[in-house]
């Protein structure tokens, strides 16, 4: 699957050749236009254009019109499909043949059977015969421009390259045009709601829920202290307001979460590196004062964890993912089957799964300090808005079952990522400036998926929810993912509102009704999740241990200057610019401690509403197949995969629930068996293992493996000769209601 890898793999020319004359086409051909969104404007179009299919053994290419708008690249087929294709999961903002401009990753041009990577500087060159678009959601589109007129082909090529690859300003993102042309409807969320943490009420509600003890600051309401910090946040009570101004908020412990035993989790941005001894001494004293404030606030010891020492850098993450994603950007069947022979080795060399394991391991270390040692934790990172967001979010997800609900998880992302100041604008490369691009938030979602697939009964949201959320990053309509900081969001909205004379409100990604109808939103919920009963909540509340502060204090009170010796030694190295290798192996003692903690937890009865820890063994860290393989027809299993099992369990649980309701209501007028049969109405379709993303097919699928590369490797005689079995899919596959 390295047909377009970083080393420049050899390109195999697609075997499809079209001899269709557009004037002699089918009678079913008709001119169509896409359904435009509010504020969407067409820049250019070309017709006829051929959309080449990934599998040229099935139905060949499709003729239509290619559009480029200020929001997307859209292909509209001229042909009325005679076959009814089942699409149970449809996005309202863009279709299966649409590519949001911010979702374009790379563009290749086909120049006389030679493929070249297109950059924005090559627009004035001769336009190619065809273009291949690689998307950030790992879709691959191939368009042939041979049949289009010379001028139209040139315009569509230049338009697509200019608007999807050229650097641009924030104001050019489609979200602003979209919001200017939609009516601002009042937000109508039902309880429980997603906390946005844009006001004091949400912060106070979260502090009350976790029973923490910190001081709320409003001094940065107008971003006078720092443009990187939120408008409102909690700090230890002993930290003074003047301490925030000393280094523009850097080094100040920002509260993240409080453990029920009394200790808490904090994070901060590291102080700038200096060489002069006097400034270095001042920084050391400043950080010691911050650590003392954390410890004094809770009467606990404090542990400073410098994430820059043991976790990969932002550049390492980007390089690893760039190699990793090439495994799934497939545009040629022959290349797919060749790469299949070295699949595991190529995955391993990217080190992407290794980075996921490192992040989970670090999160478990922090959980151990909080849960077992009753120690306050201060996460330290160069900027304080990347890997600290990953680790703090994972720690809270493992310790607090509230964040495993859908609204709780969304509140967590708002608190730690959006309001926490993660630079989505640059990390997601919405402005086409690759210098600071890095999939840090995607790395977090990968870690969450590992927890979800290991403990599926503990999460209210589904794998599909995580996949859709990862796709939404590149849509660039939602305020959640298009700003670099809370300051930029507030200032940009204020400026635009003043320009247009009315309040401009860019929607949040948590308003799922913008993308999916109520039926489709049901797929965002995990049908296997069971909420904690009121009796269990009452029992656990009564059994909750009271804080025993003296257990975490030293046996004998040491002199004050030695109380934080371990932390100050680490800080001294950090302030002097000393960095341990980011790919360092964990010490034997650290690994042994984590494994001991995990084994002790594993021996206890599993409580899905309590502490959750991931299995960090090699085979346990798996590939997120739904996200990475859903667009590759060759790996789809029709009638198989985990979705088949989940669907069957869901169907049985529905029938049990209906029977229970009938018994409670004592319905005697109707035959219960007839009612159950009518309610669980099934429609027979061929369901893929990547449902609901993969299209359902009516014919069998037969892979084409190049035998020249497989001679002697396997028996090709009976490969894929059997028909796929039909799978019955219940219309009511999930019983959850619409997301908030």
Q: How many distinct structural domains can be found in the chain?
A: 3
Indicate the SS3 state at residue 610. Answer: coil
Q: How confident is the model at residue 497 (pLDDT cuts 50, 70, 90)?
A: confident
Range of lowest pLDDT (96-105, 312-321, 337-346, 555-564): 555-564
249: DSSP letter: T
Q: Are residues 631 and 597 in the same domain?
A: no
Q: Are residues 530 and 643 in the same domain?
A: no
Chain-wide mean pLDDT for the chain? 80
pLDDT at 664: 80
Does 332 score more than 60 pLDDT? yes
* DSSP letters spanning 419-488: TTT--HHHHTTTTS-GGG---HHHHHHHHHHHHHHHSGGG-SB-HHHHHHHHHHTTT--SGGGS-SSHHH
Q: Are residues 462 and 596 in the same domain?
A: yes
Q: Are residues 661 and 590 in the same domain?
A: no
pLDDT at 124: 65
Q: Give the CA dihedral 202, 204, 207, 213, nearest 10 degrees.
A: 160
Cα(402)–Cα(396) distance, integer angstroms: 9
Does 349 score more than 90 pLDDT? yes
In a domain, 195, yes or no: no
Which of 166, 188, 220 is at the close of a domain? 166
Cα(691)–Cα(650) distance, integer angstroms: 15
Q: Are residues 596 and 647 in the same domain?
A: no
pLDDT at 125: 67
H helix intervals, 560-700 = 560-563, 565-575, 588-602, 625-629, 642-665, 672-679
Q: Are residues 647 and 538 in the same domain?
A: no
Cα(459)–Cα(560) distance, integer angstroms: 44
Matching residue, tokens 């005689």: 717
In a domain, 14, yes or no: no
In a domain, 173, yes or no: no
**Phi, psi (deg, nearest 5) at residue 487:** -60, -45
pLDDT at 278: 79
Q: How confident is the model at residue 165 (pLDDT cuts 50, 70, 90)?
A: very high
Give per-residue pLDDT as tens, 609-625.
999 999 999 899 999 99
Indicate the SS3 state at residue 187. Answer: coil
E-strand ranges in 70-207 read 72-77, 98-100, 104-111, 114-118, 130-135, 140-144
**Mean of the pLDDT values across residues 429-452?**
96
Matching residue, tokens 């070249």: 116
pLDDT at 709: 44
79: DSSP letter: B
**Mean of the pLDDT values across residues 434-439?**
94
pLDDT at 141: 96
Q: Is 333 part of any known ligand binding site?
A: yes
Give per-residue pLDDT as tens, 6-42.
344 444 444 444 444 544 444 444 457 899 999 999 9
pLDDT at 524: 95
pLDDT at 83: 44
**CB distance 626 to 463 below 8 Å:** yes
Q: Are residues 205 and 284 in the same domain?
A: yes
Q: How confident is the model at residue 274 (pLDDT cuts 50, 70, 90)?
A: confident
**Mean of the pLDDT values across residues 428-442?**
95
* DSSP letters spanning 223-245: SSS-SSS-SSEEE-TT--HHHHH
pLDDT at 27: 42
Q: Are residues 342 and 443 in the same domain?
A: yes
Q: Is 132 part of any known ligand binding site?
A: no
Does 674 score more than 90 pLDDT? no
Higher-pLDDT residue of 614 and 276 is 614
Does 107 score more than 50 pLDDT? yes
Of 481, 479, 476, nearest to 444 (Cα)? 481
Q: How confident is the model at residue 298 (pLDDT cuts 50, 70, 90)?
A: low
Q: Are residues 98 and 223 in the same domain?
A: no
**Mean of the pLDDT values across residues 168-181?**
93
Range of lowest pLDDT (174-178, 528-532, 628-632, 736-740): 736-740
Q: HSE (CB half, 13 Å, CA atoms) of 391?
A: 31
Q: Which tokens is 4 given?
A: 């377009």
Helices (H) and strands (E) in the chain, counts: 24, 16
Which of 121, 149, 166 is at the close of a domain? 166
**Phi, psi (deg, nearest 5) at residue 173:** -65, 140
Range of lowest pLDDT (8-12, 397-401, 505-509): 8-12
Cis peptide before 277 (omega within 30 of 0): no
State the CATH number of the domain containing residue 127. Answer: 2.30.29.30
Does 429 score more than 70 pLDDT? yes
Of 134, 135, 111, nearest to 122 (Cα)? 111
Q: How confident is the model at residue 280 (pLDDT cuts 50, 70, 90)?
A: confident
In a domain, 122, yes or no: yes
Give residue 592's region: left, alpha or beta (phi > 0; psi -120 to 50).
alpha
**Mean of the pLDDT values across residues 205-234?**
94
Its domain, for residue 666, covers: 625-730
Q: Are residues 542 and 679 in the same domain?
A: no
In a domain, 176, yes or no: no
Cα(538)–Cα(523) distance, integer angstroms: 31
Cis peptide before 692 (omega within 30 of 0): yes
Q: Which tokens is 51 given?
A: 């959309």
**Mean of the pLDDT values across residues 369-398?**
96
**Mean of the pLDDT values across residues 202-221?**
95
pLDDT at 534: 65
Residue 707: count of CB within 10 angstroms of its CB? 11
Of 444, 442, 516, nearest to 474 (Cα)? 442
pLDDT at 56: 53
Q: Are residues 516 and 647 in the same domain?
A: no
Does 154 score more than 90 pLDDT? yes
Q: How confident is the model at residue 241 (pLDDT cuts 50, 70, 90)?
A: confident
**CB distance 205 to 195 below 8 Å:** yes
List all residues 6 or more positions away from 163 whose beta carbon is below 8 Å from its beta carbon: 43, 68, 70, 101
Q: Which tokens is 210 given?
A: 């976790």
pLDDT at 333: 77
Q: Which tokens is 423 given?
A: 């630079």
Q: Are residues 585 and 635 in the same domain?
A: no
Range of lowest pLDDT (223-227, 445-449, 538-542, 572-576): 572-576
In a domain, 649, yes or no: yes
Higher-pLDDT residue of 582 and 17 is 17
In a domain, 479, yes or no: yes
What b-and-e string marks burial along 73-95, b requiring 16 or more CB atoms within 10 Å of the CB?
A: bbbbebeeeeeeeeebbebebbe
In a domain, 185, yes or no: no
């Amino acid at each position: 699957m390295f047909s377009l890898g970083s080393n420049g793999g050899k390109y195999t020319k697609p075997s499809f050749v079209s001899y269709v004359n557009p004037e002699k086409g089918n009678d079913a051909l008709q001119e169509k236009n896409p359904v435009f969104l509010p504020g969407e404007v067409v820049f250019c179009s070309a017709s006829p254009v051929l959309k080449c299919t990934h599998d040229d053994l099935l139905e060949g290419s499709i003729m239509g019109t290619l559009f480029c708008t200020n929001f997307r690249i859209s292909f509209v087929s001229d042909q009325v499909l005679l076959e009814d294709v089942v699409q149970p999961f449809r996005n309202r903002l863009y279709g299966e043949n649409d590519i949001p401009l911010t979702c374009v990753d790379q563009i290749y041009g086909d120049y006389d059977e030679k493929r070249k990577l297109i950059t924005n500087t090559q627009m004035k060159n001769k336009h190619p015969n065809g273009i291949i678009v690689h998307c950030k959601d790992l879709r691959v589109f191939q368009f042939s421009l041979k049949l289009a007129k010379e001028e139209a082909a040139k315009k569509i090529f230049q338009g697509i390259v200019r608007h999807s690859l050229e650097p641009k300003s924030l104001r050019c993102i489609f979200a602003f045009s979209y919001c200017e042309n939609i009516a601002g409807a009042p937000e109508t969320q039902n309880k429980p709601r997603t906390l946005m943490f844009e006001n004091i009420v949400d912060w106070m509600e979260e502090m009350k829920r976790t029973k923490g003890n910190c001081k709320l600051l409003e001094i940065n309401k107008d971003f006078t202290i720092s443009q990187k910090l939120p408008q409102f946040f909690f700090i230890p009570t002993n930290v003074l307001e003047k301490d925030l101004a000393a280094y523009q908020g850097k080094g100040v412990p920002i509260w993240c979460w409080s453990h029920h035993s009394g200790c808490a989790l904090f994070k901060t941005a590291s102080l700038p590196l200096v060489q002069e001894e006097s400034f270095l001494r001042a920084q050391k004293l400043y950080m010691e004062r911050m650590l003392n404030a954390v410890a004094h606030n809770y009467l606990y010891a404090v542990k400073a964890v410098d994430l820059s020492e043991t976790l990969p850098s932002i550049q390492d993450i980007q390089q690893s993912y760039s190699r990793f994603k090439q495994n799934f950007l497939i545009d040629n069947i022959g290349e797919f089957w060749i790469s299949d022979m070295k699949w595991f080795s190529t995955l391993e060399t990217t080190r992407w799964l290794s980075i996921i394991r490192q992040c989970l391991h670090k999160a478990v270390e922090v959980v151990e300090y909080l849960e077992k040692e009753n120690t306050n934790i201060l996460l330290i990172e160069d900027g304080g808005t990347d890997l600290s967001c990953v680790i703090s979010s994972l720690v809270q997800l493992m310790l607090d079952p509230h964040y495993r609900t859908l609204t709780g998880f969304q509140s967590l992302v708002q608190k730690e990522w959006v309001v926490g100041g993660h630079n989505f604008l640059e990390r997601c490369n919405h402005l086409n400036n690759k210098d600071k691009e890095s999939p840090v938030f995607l790395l977090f979602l990968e870690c969450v998926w590992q927890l979800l697939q290991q403990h599926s009964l503990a999460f209210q949201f589904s794998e599909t929810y995580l996949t859709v959320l990862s796709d939404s990053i590149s849509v660039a309509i939602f305020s959640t993912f298009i700003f670099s900081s809370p300051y930029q969001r507030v200032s940009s909205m204020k400026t635009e509102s003043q320009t247009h004379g009315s309040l401009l409100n860019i929607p949040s990604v948590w308003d799922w009704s913008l993308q999916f109808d109520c039926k489709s939103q049901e797929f965002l919920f995990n049908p296997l999740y069971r909420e904690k009963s009121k009796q269990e909540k009452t029992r656990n509340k009564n059994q909750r241990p009271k804080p025993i502060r003296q257990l975490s204090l030293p046996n004998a009170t040491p002199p004050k200057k030695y109380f934080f010796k371990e932390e100050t030694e680490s800080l001294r190295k950090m302030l002097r610019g000393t960095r341990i290798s980011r790919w360092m192996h964990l010490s034997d003692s650290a690994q042994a401690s984590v494994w001991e903690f995990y084994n002790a937890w594993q021996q206890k009865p599993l409580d899905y509403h309590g502490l959750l820890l991931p299995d960090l063994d090699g085979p346990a860290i798996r590939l997120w197949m739904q996200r990475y393989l859903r667009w590759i027809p060759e790996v789809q299993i029709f009638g198989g995969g985990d979705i088949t099992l989940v669907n069957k369990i869901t169907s049985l649980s529905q029938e049990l629930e209906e029977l229970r309701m009938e018994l409670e209501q004592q319905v005697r007028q109707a035959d219960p068996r007839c009612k159950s049969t009518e309610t669980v109405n099934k429609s027979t379709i061929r369901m893929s293992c990547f449902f609901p993303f993969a299209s359902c097919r009516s014919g069998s699928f037969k892979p084409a493996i190049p035998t020249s590369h497989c001679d002697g490797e396997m028996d090709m005689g009976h490969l894929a000769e059997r028909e796929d079995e039909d799978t019955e899919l219940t219309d009511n596959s999930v019983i959850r209601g619409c997301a908030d």
